[in-house]
Amino acid sequence: MSLTGRELIVAPTAIERMSEARVTPEERLAISRLLHDLCGNPMLGYEIPFQHPTMYRIDAGRFHIHYRFDDQYLKIGFIGVY
């Protein structure tokens, strides 16, 4: 477990989608900081309705981040634009 609370797990497809959107160094830093904050407090985002199991979303500029969490892990499934 990380010092911030939960261990971060990012799906390889999330990294690919982020790269396809031509993430800038500033955006990458903002996303990284937001993910660090989410590890400590995953309730910063909001619940995506009609998803089972429950999934949450938070935005970092033009990027949307979809994630799930439990007591041990923060699992990122999508980082991209749409």
8 A C-beta contact, residue 65 and residue 79? yes
- The pTM for the full model equals 0.90
Residue 46 CA to residue 66 CA, distance in Å, equals 10
Write out the H or E segment, with its range, that includes residue 47.
strand 46-47
Domains in the chain, ordered, with CATH?
7-80 (3.30.2310.20)
Task: Return the structure tokens found at 55.
Answer: 């999934």
Q: What is the pLDDT of residue 73?
A: 97
Q: What percent of the chain has pLDDT over 70?
A: 95
Q: Could you read off the pLDDT of 43-67 as tens digits, one per residue? A: 999 999 999 999 999 999 999 999 9
Q: Could you read off the pLDDT of 9-44 as tens digits, one per residue? A: 999 999 999 999 999 999 999 999 999 999 999 999
